[in-house]
Structure 1
Amino acid sequence: MKLALVYNERLAPKRMAKVQQLARVLELRGHCVTHHFGDSFDAAHDSGDADCIVLAGGDGTARLVIGKQADPAALPPLAIYPTGTINLLARELGYSRNPEVFADSLVSGRPARTTRLALLDGQPFLACASIGFDAHTVARVSEALKLRIGRFAYVAALLAMVRDWPHEPVVIDTGTERLDAEALFVLRGRYYAGPWTLDRQAHLEHERLRVLALPQARKRDLALLIGYAMLGSHRPHGKWRFLETERLTIESEHGHPVQADGDVVNQAPVTIELTEATVTFL
């Protein structure tokens, strides 16, 4: 196979070593591997004849690379080699960190998975988007600390927010319904913040966006949410709402941060929609 391996040129040394190890494994198996940096990668120009684009990184890397393409729907099949902090998309798709196992998955003959692209103010996101305490936490994360301690940097950012807890509500408008919420999660898959689950019905092939809205987002609500996710509960608490929609707007007078795939990408108000354009994963 002709494989375009795309990654961040500024990866930490340990993560770069994993990418180089993967490249050696793929080449030893007879694949033709070309190397590309995500910041400048143009699939149509740089790898027009590739059989597959391997995105080595986390959810944010995949989002940025796909979002930079002039026509994401024209991309060849994609695969995600997880070298990021959380790696929700790779977890959803069943990709392994082990380079040998990952290489096997590219030629295993397992069915490809096609997902419609979701856009947040015109830019794609792949795994999840949120507003409320989750997005405020992401906004406070130190990138230097994240490189040193991984996902625990999010815990540190959350603890730093305890004295300045966000409470301002936003208005969610789906076109058929309006409701107030202090936190909401737009979910493209069943995983959230690692191996945990906020919505068992969310999956990449779903024909609608799955949305979890919390009317209140107090510290006790965060504790309930964590328990709900870790225990794999089936029933939402109290007045929590699950919605299905192809489009929603989030209205706010306070400029709340909005996170997508682990990065703050905008401030409310924003529009999120599910498009007809698709990408395919091996």
Structure 2
Amino acid sequence: MRLLIIRNPVAGQRRETFFQDILDGLRMRGCAVDILETERPGHAAELATANGGKDYDRLVIAGGDGTINEAVNGLMRLQTSVPFAILPLGTANVLAIEIGLDFKKREAVLDYLMGGRVRSVYPAQVGGRHFLLMAGAGFDAHVVDGVSSRLKKMVGKLAYVWCMLRLYARGWTRRYDVTVDGERTTAHSVIATNAQHYGGAYKITDETSLLRPGLVVVLFDSQRRVDILRSAIYLALNKLGELPNVRCLTAKEVEIHGGNDDPLQVDGDSSMTLPARIGAGERSLAMIWPTA
């Protein structure tokens, strides 16, 4: 089996030993492995576009959810591409959790990379950019925007907790105009999700899947500190949809206005701003999933 690994060396610094163990395991199992490392933001997309149509059996994206997002955007530029797999090396690794990959166990990852099955996934899109997980405006987007890469390298997920507590202490006063499949409403925070999980192993909805087109729009109707705290607790308990001030709507398209130039987080990366139009996926990509 011939594998091409596109690796973000920055995202993998905290799991360097694990990455090397995976490489050794692949070669011991007879794989021919080529490695290309990213050198700057956006480079993973360029490398995926340039190599996604070449004669490899699988393209492996090694990094965090942001690196995977970049590579997916590169592959979407091609008419057809090599099936892609992921080697999770990031902070949250939400996509790995979404597909049920036990990414902390060496043998499980090796079995997945070599023996996983090909399935069709449907990236959603916003402003010409595709995403597999979610796009969010409001409280979570400001948290993501406030996390420095230096702090994330030092303390991992705790960097997000720190920024969340800091924003929580200041109070939340934003309100956005939201249009969901033509129906207008308002909300203090909005998450349009293509996946069931959010922020890690927390389940935000059961009503969507990467394996079919469609979004779930999660609308947070309260800005009170007590309700923000309650939302965080219910999310941790996988019961967010039970809150009366949280609405979950299935949708094909959602528009978010207000707070112009407010950050929009896409797959955990704050590189876009409002206003935004988010649409369900229309074209699929071939992705490797665990067999179990």
Q: What TM-score comes out, normalization by structure 1 length?
A: 0.92
Range that drifts further, 246-255 or 64-73: 64-73
The superposition leaves residues 152-199 of structure 1 with CA deviations (integer Å, 9 ceiling, x where unpaired) of: 100111122234333221111124211100111111222111111111
1:98 aligns with 2:105: yes
Q: 1:70 to 1:176 in 2, by over 3 A?
A: closer
State the Cα distance separating 1:73 from its structure 2 match.
5.3
Give the alignment of 1:5-154 within 5 angstroms: 5-11=5-11, 13-38=13-38, 39=43, 41-43=46-48, 45-46=50-51, 48-69=54-75, 71-72=77-78, 74-95=80-101, 96-108=103-115, 111-154=117-160
Distance 1:263 1:44 in 2: 20
Checking the alignment, whether the CA contact within 8 Å between 2:2 and 2:32 is kept in structure 1 is yes
Checking the alignment, whether the CA contact within 8 Å between 1:256 and 1:268 is kept in structure 2 is yes
Range that drifts further, 147-156 or 222-231: 222-231
Range that drifts further, 81-90 or 1-10: 1-10
Checking the alignment, whether the CA contact within 8 Å between 1:215 and 1:239 is kept in structure 2 is yes
Letter aligned with residue 102 of structure 1: V
Distance 1:216 1:67 in 2: 34
Q: 1:279 to 1:224 in 2, by over 3 A?
A: same
Give the alignment of 1:183-198 within 5 angstroms: 183-198=189-204
Q: 1:227 to 1:70 in 2, by over 3 A?
A: closer
Distance 2:197 2:276 in 1: 23
Distance 1:72 1:131 in 2: 29
Unaligned runs of 5+ in 2: none
Distance 1:220 1:206 in 2: 36
Checking the alignment, whether the CA contact within 8 Å between 2:240 and 2:246 is kept in structure 1 is no
Q: 1:218 to 1:7 in 2, by over 3 A?
A: farther
RMSD of Structure 2 on Structure 1 (CA): 2.0
Distance 2:49 2:12 in 1: 28
State the Cα distance separating 1:250 from its structure 2 match.
0.7
Checking the alignment, whether the CA contact within 8 Å between 1:42 and 1:69 is kept in structure 2 is no
State the Cα distance separating 1:69 from its structure 2 match.
4.2
Alignment partner for residue 207 of structure 1, among 202, 213, 218?
213
Distance 1:215 1:235 in 2: 12
State the Cα distance separating 1:262 from its structure 2 match.
1.1
Distance 1:176 1:12 in 2: 42
1:249 aligns with 2:291: no
1:157 aligns with 2:163: yes
Letter aligned with residue 34 of structure 1: D
Q: Which residue of 2 aligns with 1:273?
A: 279
Unaligned runs of 5+ in 1: none
Secondary structure of the residue aligned to 1:161 is: helix
Distance 2:212 2:284 in 1: 12
What is the identity percentage for the equivalent residue pairs of Structure 1 and Structure 2? 27
Checking the alignment, whether the CA contact within 8 Å between 1:114 and 1:278 is kept in structure 2 is yes
Checking the alignment, whether the CA contact within 8 Å between 1:73 and 1:279 is kept in structure 2 is no
Checking the alignment, whether the CA contact within 8 Å between 1:73 and 1:278 is kept in structure 2 is no
Distance 2:64 2:108 in 1: 18
Alignment partner for residue 168 of structure 1, among 155, 168, 174?
174
State the Cα distance separating 1:72 from its structure 2 match.
4.8
Secondary structure of the residue aligned to 2:280 is: strand
The number of residues matched between the two structures is 281
Distance 2:125 2:176 in 1: 19
Distance 2:267 2:188 in 1: 20
Letter aligned with residue 124 of structure 1: H
Structure 1 runs (4+) greater than 4 angstroms displaced: none
1:177 aligns with 2:146: no
Q: What TM-score comes out, normalization by structure 2 length?
A: 0.89
Letter aligned with residue 201 of structure 1: E
State the Cα distance separating 1:217 from its structure 2 match.
2.9
Distance 1:275 1:207 in 2: 5
